Structure 1
Amino acid sequence: MSFRARLTLVAAAAVAAAVVAASFAVYFIVRNDLRGTVDNGLRATAEQIEHLPPHELGRVVTPPPEVGGTGGYVQIVLPNGSTYRPPPEAVTLPVGKRERAIAKTGRGSFFRDMHVAGNDLRVLTVPYAAPGYAIQVARSLDEVNHVLGRLVIFLLAIDLCGVAIAAALGLLISRAALAPVRRLSDATEKVAATGDLSERIDARGTDELSRLAGRFNTMLGALEESRRAQRQLVADASHELRTPITSLRTNIEVLASERALPPEERRRLLHDVVEQLGEMTALISELMELARGEQRPGDAEDVRLDLVVADAVERARRNRPGVLFITDLEETVVHGVPATIERAVANLLPGGARDRARPWTGNRRGGSAVRLRPVLSREHGAWAAGLGARPRDRAAGRGGARRPRSRRAR
């Protein structure tokens, strides 16, 4: 059963319970009122005849033509339980211990329901004026029962109509109340089917369901950002590892070739391989920290930018032996996060070697050259210091893996 059906059923059941409770209350109020009217009539009749002689009782209380009709009954009870019915009474009312006790003591009175000849009677027993006697006055309850029977039918009809109306209203109310839930469900199903985390729900309002929709939108935004960060991490890792892996492969292929190498060049290649493996190990470790979310941003401090550039150029020379990096450095201190500055420099060097290198024939193999000079400006700040980078290059240096070494200002 769906939640909407359960909500409709609960609403209908609640209204039905309220209507049935109200119907019971109406029934018992009307019943007590009708029976109270009968009791008052019996008391009035008893007060009227309790001082009359027995032979005159029949003139005051006119018996119905048959038991159950309109009219009343009267009967005198003796202490031994025998009865006297004034003419033309033909119905004998049952006599019990309480009736005999009133006849014997002359005190007390009580009402009692009796079933005589297939009909319900209301009977009042009171002391009679003559000592040692009691008088019973009775009246049929058929009229009362008839009215109550019609009332029951009427109340049942009202109950059924109330339940039907409650079910219809519950269906309409549940449809309106569950509209945000339906939108939330549709959005989750769409996200599950398409994988599109940009889906959002209209979360207008301040009620619980609107707040739930807002929290769901926040969750989708967090998931979307997490997916974007994952893709960016993969792209950054690919970018970071491509150059050292290529250089490492080249050095290993040269070492593995059958061509004889001078001892000095062989030692240099082995040294480069060891250094590159160390750099890759540190880079992979920091990428893993980023993936696990364990890395925390550092604090800003004074950094020797010229030393950072010199260290980065040293690594770049190993990775790009065909490029000549010409440095024109002087002591330069900038204020920033060391790891971020090192990251910016490391990202800008490959771009400079690729986009700004000029042909160079300073060795037999030929190649290209990149000249580095200090350029400090208010616009670029620490991001472009020493490299002459454009403003858009700053975004390329943010985030990403940290270099294991940095140069603090001394």
Structure 2
Amino acid sequence: MRLLRGLGRRKLTLRARVALLSTLGVALAVVVVSLAGWWLMHGRMYEDLDRRLSADTAAAVSAATPDEALRALRSADELPGTWSDDDDPPSEIRRLVRLAGLPPPAVVRFLDDRGHAVSSTAGAAWLGPVSSPAARVATSGSGQDLADAGPGDETVYRVSTTPRPGGAVQVATRVIGIEETLDDLRALLTWIGLVGTALAGVVGWGVARTGLRPVHRLTGAVEKVAETQDLDSSIPVSGHDEIARLATAVNHLLTALAASKAAQQQLVQDAGHELRTPLTSLRTNVELLTYAEQQLASGRSLAADDRARLLRDLGVQAEELTTLTTELVELAAENTDPEPSGPLDLADVVHSAVIRARARWPQVVFAVAAAPAPLTGQAGGLSRVVLNLLDNAAKWSPPGGTVRVVLSTTDGHAELTVADEGPGIDEQDRPKVFERFYRATAARSMPGSGLGLAIVAQIVATHAGTVVAGAAEGGGAELRVRLPSDAARFS
């Protein structure tokens, strides 16, 4: 963990991290396999040694003396000779080994029934004193003991103790050859591990370089798009692997960004066009009033009716600018900072919006029939939807006219219908009334910005609903909103 944290602080490249992790993985595998192989070989060699010792000890039980037992074992297993005075003269190799003071390859020792050594072949001093488990075998006359023996903490012999009449017999075989073999194997496995780890590092670096080459190409393409700001360009996609899926996702992201940028530019252009007209009228009226004030010194003055009309126009134009600015802010806010959803009853939202509409449009009658419609949604957004629909219907209704508001639930959906008694919407204009700044020919002489129904359509779309325009029974316009009441749709 410290190594990984250190690598994170040094901020290695992805290629270097992949190569390093692959090297560590191979090194770990080599270490595990080497240790497992060494321990397996260690266990097998000592298992074979113990099995041979047990057989030799069983054969030595019937011998009269340790030297006789050793000669029998030597002839049976072709063991090197011993150094007893009764034995044949030693060869040159045996003489050199004895002069060098090395332990003999095998030792036989007899124990009495008290566990004391009574006789042995040459080299018994290397076995040391009789151990307690071996003495218990001699005194009890049953069981068997396998143990290591040697001077101090050094292991020189593997000793097998088996009971015999009058005590026990011990047969010891030198383990130096086995340990040397294991040491050689340990050194060999160590070198194999080091070389394998080095090769794994080289191979891992090559694999990381080759495997991450598509990522580098994709990164270069994305950096080029970020530098040129060309959102209409696309990244080449080849194959069906994870890199291809990533490139496809980036292309989809670029498409969405391009569409968002185009929508923002269109919104700015439309907003600039809509703001230009009231600003021009406002500036013209202000200039007329300013000119009239300048003419007071010459004795000419603006008529009171004309001044009142200009001031009235200024108020209307200022109100239009305020309304347009507010609707633009609401439209942008729905895109950038959506309101969180929560459980609500749409009937409560409708009643609250009707109270506000009655205060704003006292000359219109609002007839409401709202059944409970629980759903999960944005309370503020849905309130704007209902209020905009009511304002639109009231604006087109004649004085004393009736705006009918009906809320019902059918097929797991909440359906809100707002109908007025105005001139209605031409059939060719119905699909377009929910577009930004769109105003039908008959509506261009009426106050408004053309954003109210666009806001309605946008908020309804965020709730996975639909809104359509049609004709009411009395000849006016009818706007119908349909919202799913399934709360999971808004999680």
Normalised TM-score (structure 2):
0.57
The correspondence for 1:279, drawn from 317, 320, 326, is: 320
The correspondence for 2:427, drawn from 330, 334, 344, is: 334
Matched, 1:121 2:157: yes
1:105 Cα offset (Å): 1.9
The 1:400–1:227 alpha-carbon spacing in structure 2 relative to 1, beyond 3 Å, is farther
The 1:189–1:348 alpha-carbon spacing in structure 2 relative to 1, beyond 3 Å, is farther
Q: Which residue identity does 1:4 align to in structure 2?
A: R
Matched, 1:51 2:62: yes
Q: Which residue identity does 1:59 align to in structure 2?
A: R
C-alpha distance in 2 between matches for 1:6 and 1:84: 68
C-alpha distance in 1 between matches for 2:162 and 2:333: 96
1:48 Cα offset (Å): 2.4
Taking the TM superposition and a 5 Å limit, the aligned residue runs for 1:367-382 are: none
Matched, 1:103 2:138: yes
C-alpha distance in 1 between matches for 2:37 and 2:126: 35
The 1:264–1:88 alpha-carbon spacing in structure 2 relative to 1, beyond 3 Å, is closer
The 1:216–1:407 alpha-carbon spacing in structure 2 relative to 1, beyond 3 Å, is closer
The 1:53–1:268 alpha-carbon spacing in structure 2 relative to 1, beyond 3 Å, is same
Q: Which residue identity does 1:13 align to in structure 2?
A: L
The 1:112–1:267 alpha-carbon spacing in structure 2 relative to 1, beyond 3 Å, is same
1:230 Cα offset (Å): 1.8
Structure 2: where are the runs of 5+ without partners?
Answer: 1-11, 75-80, 83-93, 296-300, 335-380, 398-422, 455-468, 477-491
Q: Which residue identity does 1:28 align to in structure 2?
A: W
Cross-structure match for 2:416: none
The correspondence for 1:166, drawn from 193, 196, 200, is: 200
1:17 Cα offset (Å): 1.4
SS of 1:334's equivalent in the other structure is coil
Q: Which residue identity does 2:438 align to in structure 1?
A: R
The 1:261–1:153 alpha-carbon spacing in structure 2 relative to 1, beyond 3 Å, is same
C-alpha distance in 2 between matches for 1:347 and 1:139: 116
1:114 Cα offset (Å): 1.3
Q: Which has the higher contact order (CA 8 A, sep 6+)?
A: 1
Tell me, yes or no, if the aligned pair for 2:158 and 2:175 is still in contact at 8 Å.
Answer: yes
SS of 1:343's equivalent in the other structure is coil
Q: Which residue identity does 2:149 align to in structure 1?
A: M
C-alpha distance in 1 between matches for 2:150 and 2:170: 15
1:112 Cα offset (Å): 0.8
Q: Which residue identity does 2:133 align to in structure 1?
A: R
C-alpha distance in 2 between matches for 1:272 and 1:230: 31
Structure 1 stretch 81-90 or stretch 45-54: which is displaced more?
A: 81-90
Q: Could you list the per-position Cα deviations for residues 204-232 of structure 1 after superposition, in whole angstroms to 9, with x for gaps in the alignment?
A: 45555543443333333322322222222
Cross-structure match for 2:175: 141
1:345 Cα offset (Å): 4.9
The 1:142–1:68 alpha-carbon spacing in structure 2 relative to 1, beyond 3 Å, is farther
Matched, 1:31 2:45: no
1:100 Cα offset (Å): 1.6
Q: Could you list the per-position Cα deviations for residues 241-288 of structure 1 after superposition, in whole angstroms to 9, with x for gaps in the alignment?
A: 223212221122112213433344434433333333333333323322
C-alpha distance in 2 between matches for 1:137 and 1:116: 17
SS of 1:292's equivalent in the other structure is helix
Q: Which residue identity does 1:35 align to in structure 2?
A: Y
The correspondence for 1:230, drawn from 264, 276, 282, is: 264
CA RMSD of aligned residues (A): 4.0
SS of 1:123's equivalent in the other structure is strand
SS of 1:138's equivalent in the other structure is strand
Q: Could you list the per-position Cα deviations for residues 111-151 of structure 1 after superposition, in whole angstroms to 9, with x for gaps in the alignment?
A: 111124866111111112x32x2111111111111111111
Tell me, yes or no, if the aligned pair for 1:111 and 1:123 is still in contact at 8 Å.
Answer: yes
Tell me, yes or no, if the aligned pair for 1:120 and 1:142 is still in contact at 8 Å.
Answer: yes
C-alpha distance in 2 between matches for 1:344 and 1:68: 113
Structure 1: where are the runs of 5+ without partners?
Answer: 308-329, 351-398
Cross-structure match for 1:243: 277
1:53 Cα offset (Å): 0.9
SS of 2:150's equivalent in the other structure is strand
Tell me, yes or no, if the aligned pair for 1:58 and 1:86 is still in contact at 8 Å.
Answer: no
1:35 Cα offset (Å): 1.9
Structure 1 stretch 179-188 or stretch 10-19: which is displaced more?
A: 179-188
Cross-structure match for 2:17: 6
Cross-structure match for 1:262: 303
1:30 Cα offset (Å): 1.6
C-alpha distance in 2 between matches for 1:100 and 1:50: 16
SS of 1:232's equivalent in the other structure is helix
C-alpha distance in 1 between matches for 2:272 and 2:288: 24
C-alpha distance in 1 between matches for 2:126 and 2:15: 63
The 1:223–1:139 alpha-carbon spacing in structure 2 relative to 1, beyond 3 Å, is same
The aligned length equals: 331
Cross-structure match for 2:185: 151
Q: Which residue identity does 1:6 align to in structure 2?
A: R
Q: Which residue identity does 1:276 align to in structure 2?
A: Q
1:27 Cα offset (Å): 1.0
Structure 1 stretch 271-280 or stretch 198-207: which is displaced more?
A: 198-207
The 1:188–1:68 alpha-carbon spacing in structure 2 relative to 1, beyond 3 Å, is farther
C-alpha distance in 2 between matches for 1:89 and 1:159: 40
Matched, 1:178 2:224: no
Q: Could you list the per-position Cα deviations for residues 71-115 of structure 1 after superposition, in whole angstroms to 9, with x for gaps in the alignment?
A: 311111123443233455564522121222222222111211112
Tell me, yes or no, if the aligned pair for 1:236 and 1:400 is still in contact at 8 Å.
Answer: no
C-alpha distance in 2 between matches for 1:86 and 1:256: 136
The correspondence for 1:252, drawn from 282, 286, 306, is: 286
The 1:332–1:285 alpha-carbon spacing in structure 2 relative to 1, beyond 3 Å, is closer
